[in-house]
């Protein structure tokens, strides 16, 4: 009996030892798995931190680059533009728009120092070739400025806004009115830089001897609801230029800062259209379509609209939308009108916003 008891106790001890060994092995295996998971999590956290650091660093570099760009521009302006109002270059010739049929004719006028913002090609399909000719002559500052003008006026889209902004910095003469005007336009609209109305006004003011800068200051005054200032600025421009007359007609039509004179506005639009000034086709067609300043003539309004569309004016599509909106010479279709206005706004023809609101 004592011998059997010893055997039983030994067997139990062996079983307990085996169980303990198995438990210990399981515990060790569990510990190894937990350690492995912990290490993997640590590696993931480290990797995420690294990515975050890289992203933050990249963001700081981009932000600092933009800040440096703006500091450089501010420095150049302050060093070169000592007076708030600059004197216009005597070599620049400002006057009525000139419409030319050939690239050679366009280039000849540029070489003769005619206002590059007052020269137009009768065939809009030639602007891409004109851009290539400008690019060949970009060492000449006037052609570099013309290349920038073609982009800002949406005649071509070869470069991104950011590239055009950098291209503008290559202009050596920081007192140049075109340079200051284009710089103001880019800050006004946020093209290639952060939108900054205060900086835009600053550059337009520094080039306020340039008629286009005064027109932009007039438009900014309208945004600020200072209608009297807006009209006075336009009245202060003494040169006879179509863009000046167009802005004046708009103010007269709506009685902004002046007495409303619908007939006077209509007559200005009509004269501009006769001189083949494309931006006047839209307001003149609207005058006939709605009877503003003249007797309503839907047929003539639609004819002017079609002429503008043929000549390449996207804005004239607004008049087509108006025809659908009011059922003028077309079956009334508000959904069709809305579709036209939305598409124009998407293509940055913001004049359509007013009619979209209707």
First to last CA, the chain: 111
Q: Which of 176, 149, 172 is closest to 86 using CA atoms?
A: 176
Residue 144 CA to residue 121 CA, distance in Å, equals 18
Nearest to 155 by CA among 106, 192, 89: 106
Give the tens place of pLDDT for each residue, 294-318: 999 988 988 888 888 777 677 777 8
Q: Per the structure block, which two tokens stand in for 87?
A: 């004197």
Please provide the DSSP assignment of 163-196 as one string: HHHHHHTT-S-TT-HHHHHHHHHHHHHTSSS---
Q: Whole-angstrom Cα distance, residue 161 to residue 67? A: 17
Each residue's pLDDT, cut to its tens digit, for the chain (358 residues) gives 455 555 555 555 566 555 555 655 555 655 565 555 555 555 555 555 544 544 444 444 344 444 444 555 545 444 443 333 333 333 344 556 788 889 999 999 888 888 888 888 888 788 889 989 888 888 888 999 999 988 888 788 888 888 988 888 888 888 899 999 999 999 998 988 999 999 999 999 999 989 999 999 999 999 999 999 999 999 999 887 889 999 999 999 999 999 999 999 999 999 999 988 888 998 998 899 889 999 999 889 888 888 887 776 777 778 788 888 888 878 889 899 888 888 887 776 767 776 776 6
CA atoms within 13 A on the CB side of 154: 9
**What is the distance between the alpha carbons of residues 95 and 114, in angstroms, rounded to a whole number?**
9
Q: Given this model, what pLDDT does residue 54 score?
A: 42
Helix (H), strand (E) at residue 121? strand 119-121
CA separation for the pair 35, 221 (Å, rounded)? 69
Segment 188-218, tens digit of pLDDT: 989 889 999 999 999 999 999 899 999 999 9
At residue 193, what are phi and psi to the nearest 5 degrees?
Answer: -155, 170
Residue 5: predicted pLDDT: 55
Strand partners, 119: 98
């Amino acid at each position: 009996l004592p011998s059997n008891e010893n055997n039983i106790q030994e067997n139990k001890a062996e079983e307990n030892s085996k169980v303990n060994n198995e438990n210990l092995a399981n515990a060790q295996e569990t510990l190894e798995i937990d350690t492995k998971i912990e290490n993997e999590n640590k590696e993931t956290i480290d990797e995420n931190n690294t990515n975050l650091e890289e992203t933050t660093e990249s963001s700081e570099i981009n932000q600092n680059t933009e800040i440096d760009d703006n500091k450089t521009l501010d420095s150049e302006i302050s060093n070169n533009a000592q007076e708030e109002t600059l004197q216009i270059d005597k070599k620049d010739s400002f006057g009525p728009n000139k419409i030319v049929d050939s690239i050679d004719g366009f280039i000849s006028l540029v070489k003769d120092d005619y206002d590059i913002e007052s020269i137009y090609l009768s065939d809009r399909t030639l602007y891409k070739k004109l851009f290539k000719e400008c690019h060949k002559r970009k060492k000449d500052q006037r052609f570099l400025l013309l290349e920038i003008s073609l982009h800002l006026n949406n005649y071509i889209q070869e470069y991104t806004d950011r590239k055009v902004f950098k291209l503008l910095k290559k202009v050596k003469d920081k007192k140049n009115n075109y340079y200051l005007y284009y710089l103001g336009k880019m800050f006004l609209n946020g093209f290639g830089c952060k939108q900054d109305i205060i900086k835009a006004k600053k550059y337009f003011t520094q080039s306020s001897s340039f008629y286009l800068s005064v027109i932009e200051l007039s438009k900014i005054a309208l945004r600020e609801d200072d209608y009297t200032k807006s009209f006075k600025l336009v009245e202060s421009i003494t040169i006879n230029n179509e863009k000046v007359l167009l802005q004046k007609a708009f103010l007269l039509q709506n009685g902004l800062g002046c007495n409303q004179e619908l007939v006077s506005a209509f007559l200005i639009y009509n004269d501009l259209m006769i001189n083949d000034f494309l931006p006047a086709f839209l307001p003149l067609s609207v005058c006939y379509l709605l009877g503003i300043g003249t007797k309503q003539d839907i047929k003539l309004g639609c004819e002017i609209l079609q002429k503008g569309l043929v000549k390449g004016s996207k804005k004239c599509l607004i008049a087509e939308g108006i025809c659908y909106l009011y059922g003028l010479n077309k079956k009334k279709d508000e959904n069709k009108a809305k579709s036209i206005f939305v598409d124009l706004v998407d293509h940055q023809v913001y004049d359509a916003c007013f009619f979209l609101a209707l």
